[in-house]
Structure 1
Amino acid sequence: MTLAGCSKSDDSTVTPTDNNAELLIRKWTFSDLTVKTDAKSYVIPQTQGNMISVVSDDNAITFNKEGSFSYLSDSKPVMGKWTLINKTLVLINADNVTSNWSVNALTKTDLELASINVDLTKGKDLTDRKVYTEEENSVGAVSLIFLASLGKQNGGTIDLTKEPQPKSIQLILKGKGQ
């Protein structure tokens, strides 16, 4: 994976380990979404009328001490399970779907997560289960949809025909703790 390592911006920033999982235990609201390709990063704009739901209906997750987390799905509260080992946050949602997130930064007030990095060159189609895992399919498809939303043909401001064709793709989420 080509993820950036944790960095210290001040004394309150820590390198995530299983020993500081208590920093994660709180409600997190995610409002900063970036699609990162091998060539470029694209910030996906969030507006009041156009909130893109990535982690839940309201883009909020509450991590509980006993290894569970809660979030809204179809306007109903649901539960999942989480573990934090070194820099990897493993989430198992209410549908028993597992996702792995690299924790790039973690403080009491800030959390930056990076999805797995999906190699778009290893197969012709993200739905090919012989080539792509379910998680790669999900991350790749969602990332490409977000990227396409920036295109002029979809009401965005970028002429995607002039952008480099991505060879890999990844989601970066930034959240604020409450």
Structure 2
Amino acid sequence: MTASAHPPSGLSKATWTDADFPVMGWHDCRIHAVGVTEYEDDTVPPTRLLLDLDYIVRWVDPVAPEKHFTFWIAPATLVFEKAWDITGQFGPLHDLLEIDDVHRLASPDDQPEPLWHIEGQNFDVRLRAHGYRQYLRMPPKAVSRQALTLAQRNGIGFAEQPFA
């Protein structure tokens, strides 16, 4: 990707990986759908965990007289390849799913894959996977709230194709 994937938002690229983890953040990112799929071949482990989320590319400080942040947000697909030992809990689901933080923890055993912990305001998911890819499917939109509407994001999707 070029250094100008989306200049207005400051976004430098549309595909991110676990190598970018130190500079990424998912605080307050809304999850619209969760998918668990398998490979069509004999890949081991056979599972993939996919999240359809609104990735907050940038929080914009308010400029007087405004008092509230605005946001650059893009619909994204976060994919953990060769995922295993996926555990978690959801609920109560009277609120929408929002991520508080994503942690990459050292392996607690002799397996090489780190433990990923996705904690949210009303859910908690842990899994093992070597890494992830995150695809921003559309250019970021400037919005006044921390999530896109389904119309703004073209509905639910798990496409693994970046916009740039």
Structure 1 length normalisation: TM-score?
Answer: 0.21
Comparing both structures, which one devotes a greater share of its residues to helix?
1
Comparing both structures, which one devotes a greater share of its residues to strand?
2
